[in-house]
Amino acid sequence: MRASLGITAIVQSALYLSRSGNPSLIGSSAAVLTAAAGAAIVAGFFTPLAGLLVGACAAGAAYWTTEMTLPTLFAIAIGIALACLGPGAFSVDAVLFGRREIIIPQTRPAREP
């Protein structure tokens, strides 16, 4: 999931920059920012921030082009999910900050009256 969103963001940014004849400053800077965030997602570097950034850029692109497509909705949803879930075990973040283990406390049995 992580790598597919990152590669998709990089490809969409490259297509925008190559197909637009005279891109605006906001559009070209958003495309470069999306490509950088996509590369960070692929590497697993600052994944929560990069996931939010890709989701926000996809939402901004949908707003500015007034074209909300299903892949755009998927990019927004996966970006938010990555921001909430984190990078995973095989990432730069796991090496830098350590792996986190989720500990679920045992519940006590219910008392009968």
At 66, is the pLDDT very low, low, confident or very high (cuts 50, 70, 90)?
A: low
pLDDT digits over 77-112, tens only?
888 888 887 777 777 777 777 776 767 788 777 676
At 1, the pLDDT band (50, 70, 90 cuts) reads low
Asked whether residue 13 carries a pLDDT value surpassing 70, the answer given is: yes
- Residue 113 — pLDDT band, cuts 50, 70, 90? low
Per-residue model confidence (pLDDT) at position 36? 92
Tokens found for residue 102: 């989720």
Model-level pTM?
0.72
Instruction: State the CB neighbour count (10 A cutoff) for residue 92.
Output: 14
Residue-wise over 2-38: b if at least 16 C-beta within 10 A, else e? Answer: beebbebbbebbeebeeeeeeeeeebeebbebbbbbb
Three-state secondary-structure class, residue 90 = coil
Tell me what pLDDT residue 24 has. Answer: 78
Rounded-to-integer distance, Cα 44 and Cα 75, Å: 17
